């Protein structure tokens, strides 16, 4: 069991627990997380959810690169769609969901955090979408949610560079709602949860649904396109080079695209 759920009265604390791999998500973990989110969504006794990562280093360091490195086009479509379903399940929960970002939230980790309603970060947390360094575009909603949260210009710069964004910078651009010393992060998340829980749960759920709908208008079509281009990357050389380089702990070597057209 890699997804732990701990109930504290009406609060459910979900801990992604695979610290040896910085909580990176395999297909098995995606399915387990999706099931857990659906279970909690149907549990009327839960009023707010906090999602965090086990260990001191990472929230989630992304999709599991070892597993992804072995995928072909069809496997990539399925992997992307499962990631979308997991993130959509988080976003669709009637309860507010707070991401307590205790460390790296990269790739799929940033995408999971962005599917949450509110993000709080520890001072040392780093967020980002480094997929292009692996020869692939983001594939679990990153190209759709990041521009909606921080604006398209900033999102493009972050996704094209693949760079890590500090917690302080994330606060400045609205990617996170608060930054705290690591040892205070969970207390702050609980305080925020309490401030939600004092309000009418039906009204909070309705407000969430209404706000999600405005964001949802074209996420679905964007996600279909995202899966397509993600999967197409698995037909080319950049994906295998990028992932092999990561796994071999060397810098990837990419040839420049043709410029004569
Ligand atoms: N998939 C699979 N394994 C991962 C992983 C991922 N996304 N991210 C980290 N790990 C594993 C490492 O392979 C390593 O395993 P090992 O101890 O068996 O060798 C372990 O987690 C610790 O990671 P390591 O890279 O040694 O830690 P670090 O402090 O040097 O670097 C990161 C931390 C987050 C910067 C680095 O792990 C990283 O860049 N991870 C990939 C991030 C990424 O590209 N995510 C998007 C994927 S689409």
pLDDT tens, position by position, 126-172: 999 999 999 999 999 999 999 999 999 999 999 999 999 999 999 99
How sure is the predictor about 225, in pLDDT bands with cuts at 50, 70 and 90? low
- Three-state DSSP class for 248? coil
User: Residue 255: what pLDDT?
Assistant: 66
Would you kindly state where each structural domain of the chain is located, as residue ranges? Answer: 3-197, 201-247
- Catalytic site residue from 4, 8, 32, 131: 131
Return d(Cα 83, Cα 169) in angstroms, integer.
26
CB of 26 within 8 A of CB of 65?
no
How sure is the predictor about 1, in pLDDT bands with cuts at 50, 70 and 90? low
First vs last C-alpha separation in the chain: 52
Crossing angle for the helix pair 108-115 and 73-92, to the nearest 10 degrees: 30
CB of 112 shorter than 6 A to ligand 1 = no
Provide the CATH topology of domain 201-247: Lyase 2-enoyl-coa Hydratase; Chain  A, domain 2 (1.10.12)
Atom of ligand 1 nearest to the CA of 162: 44
Atom of ligand 1 nearest to the CA of 64: 1
User: Residue 216: what pLDDT?
Assistant: 62
pTM, two decimal places: 0.90
- Whether 67 is catalytic is no
For residue 224, what are its two tokens? 């279909």
CB of 65 shorter than 6 A to ligand 1 = yes
Closest alpha carbon to 48 in 9, 89, 86, 16: 9
Sheet strands side by side (includes 97-101): 3-8, 11-16, 48-53, 97-101, 118-122, 178-180
How sure is the predictor about 203, in pLDDT bands with cuts at 50, 70 and 90? confident
Q: pLDDT tens across 35-92, in order?
A: 999 999 999 999 999 999 999 999 999 999 999 999 999 999 999 999 999 999 999 9
CB of 135 within 8 A of CB of 236?
yes
Architecture of the domain spanning 3-197: Alpha-Beta Complex (3.90)
């Amino acid at each position: 069991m890699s997804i732990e759920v701990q109930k504290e009265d009406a609060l459910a604390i979900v801990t992604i627990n695979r610290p040896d791999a910085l909580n990176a998500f395999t297909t098995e973990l995606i399915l387990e997380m999706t099931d857990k989110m659906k279970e909690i969504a149907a549990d009327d006794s839960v009023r707010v959810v906090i999602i965090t990562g086990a260990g001191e280093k990472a929230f989630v360091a992304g999709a599991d690169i070892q597993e992804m490195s072995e995928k072909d086009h069809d496997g990539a479509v399925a992997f992307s769609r499962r990631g979308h379903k997991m993130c959509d399940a988080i976003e669709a929960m009637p309860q507010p969901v707070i991401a307590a970002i205790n460390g790296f939230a990269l790739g799929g980790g940033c995408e999971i955090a962005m599917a949450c309603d509110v993000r709080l970060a520890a001072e040392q947390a780093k967020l980002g979408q480094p997929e292009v360094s692996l020869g692939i575009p983001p594939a679990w909603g990153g190209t759709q949610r990041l521009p909606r949260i921080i604006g398209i210009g900033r999102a493009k710069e972050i996704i094209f560079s693949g760079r890590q964004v500090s917690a302080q910078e994330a606060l400045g651009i609205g990617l996170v709602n608060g930054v705290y010393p690591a040892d205070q992060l969970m207390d702050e998340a609980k305080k925020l949860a309490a401030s939600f829980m004092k309000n009418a749960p039906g009204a909070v759920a309705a407000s969430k649904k209404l706000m999600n709908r405005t964001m949802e208008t074209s996420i679905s079509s964007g996600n279909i396109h995202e899966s397509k281009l993600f999967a197409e990357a698995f037909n080319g050389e950049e994906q295998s080079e990028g992932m092999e380089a990561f796994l071999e702990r060397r810098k990837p070597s990419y040839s420049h695209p043709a410029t004569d057209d």
